[in-house]
Amino acid sequence: MNQAATVDLPGRPLTALTEDEEMFRASVREFAEGELRPRVEEMDEKGKLDPALTSQCFDLGLMGIETPEEYGGAGASFFTAIIAVEELSRVDPSVGVFVDVQNTLVNNALIRWGNSEQKKKYLPQLASEKVGAYALSEAGSGSDAFAMQTRAVESNDSYILNGRKLWITNGLEAEIFVVFANANPEAGYRGITAFIVEKSFEGFSVGKKENKLGIRASSTTEIILEDCRVPRENVLGEVGKGYKVSIETLNEGRIGIGAQMIGIARGALDAALAYTSEREQFGKAVNEFQGVQFQLADMATDLEAARLMVYNAARLKDARLPFVKEAAMAKLYSSRVAERIASRAIELYGGYGFVKDYPVEKFWRDSKIGAIYEGTSNMQLQTIAKLIIGGHQPKAQ
């Protein structure tokens, strides 16, 4: 087994991008600055994405980055998707996670586990016009994802799904859902099965939209399944193998959340650098004081370390090398860094940092979710501990 912790990129640092990656980053940044930034405050206040932005995300190819060209996608790398999430999150993490869920969870699940007919039917729609969502969590099934109560019962050529899903990102906008239900409760987690569910299916409805602390423009909703009939051909992967679909997809998704977090950290640091160069106290710019300089240096160092971890995990994934430990570390550390940098930025702004007229309080609110969704920080610590301890067990005599 390859035990390397980092990907070898001869002649250039891990954070260096290829020419194509640089061009892609520049195009996403132009979109984020020109189209997204003017809408951020209003979307945060209303708690809703501007529909014009969702259409633009499709037009720019941001909703099918890894999807093969034969299905209407860009056929690019996982790392390219990470760049998009980072750049969007630098301006608004709500749009960052909107694109992230589409690419790293929904599209990835279909690309990896879908059969040829499912790919032909759904991937072109997801690349061109329809938003996707990933429905795993329930009220009593968060970190213990396999405690889910949603059930799937065979009925002729279909499955009948009953249950409620909670905390579903993109729930308001989505038309195609990857839904997990237990088709054989007696088998425990080995009965869990993944289904492709369309919003138009009878018995499917979207419930309450949550009023959240941060990433407010990103919709987080309840999903209600009441005798929802799903065709047998919409089983994603194999019956009883949904646990494998969820675990392996979320391992990749955590790198996407890491990208969202470094985007937040970059946005907060950029704002702090601009403000401290303009704000004057005692006859000179605030950033001329050594105490402020040291804080900015700490923030930049934290961000660089987090970026290296996220980029490394993404490169490992693209290289088809083991990356689960690195993904968990990247999500854990980047979420801590985002919250720490955003909090420090508020302090550097002083009283202005505490009001909504300036951007840094929003970055702090947005950062808090990083320690919670797609695996809490404690779950990441558990994953890391298992992998590092398991790799250093004494050999049997």
CATH value at residue 185: 2.40.110.10
Whether residue 384 sits in one domain with residue 248: yes
Across 120-156, b (16+ Cβ under 10 Å) vs e yields ebbbbbbbbebbbbbbbbbeebbeebbebebbbeeee
Number of domains in the chain: 3
Whether residue 111 sits in one domain with residue 75: yes
State pLDDT tens for residues 34-63: 999 999 999 999 999 999 999 999 999 999
Whether residue 141 sits in one domain with residue 103: no
With pLDDT > 90 as the criterion, what percentage of the chain qualifies? Answer: 92
Q: Determine contact, residues 148/141, Cβ cutoff 8 Å.
A: yes
Whether residue 331 sits in one domain with residue 223: no
Q: Is the pLDDT confidence value at 4 over 80?
A: no
Q: What is the extent of the structural domain holding 104?
A: 19-131
The residues with which 231 forms a beta bridge, in sequence order, are 158
Reduce the DSSP state of residue 118 to 3 states and report it.
Answer: helix
State pLDDT tens for residues 227-247: 999 999 999 999 999 999 999
Q: Please give the pLDDT value at position 396.
A: 45
Residue where a domain stops, chosen among 206, 240, 274: 240
Whether residue 161 sits in one domain with residue 100: no
Residue where a domain stops, chosen among 131, 161, 186: 131
Residues 6+ apart with CB under 8 A from 43: 49, 50, 92, 94, 216, 217
Residue where a domain stops, chosen among 105, 131, 157: 131
Whether residue 321 sits in one domain with residue 306: yes
Q: Please give the pLDDT value at position 234.
A: 98
- Judge whether 41 lies within some domain: yes
State pLDDT tens for residues 344-359: 999 999 999 999 999 9
Catalytic residues: 374
The DSSP symbol for 141 reads B
Whether residue 324 sits in one domain with residue 252: yes
Q: Please give the pLDDT value at position 13.
A: 67
Q: Which two tokens stand for residue 145?
A: 């994802």
The DSSP symbol for 217 reads T
Q: Please give the pLDDT value at position 8.
A: 54
Instruction: Determine how many CB atoms are found less than 10 A away from the CB of residue 393.
Output: 7
State the chain's mean pLDDT as an integer. 94
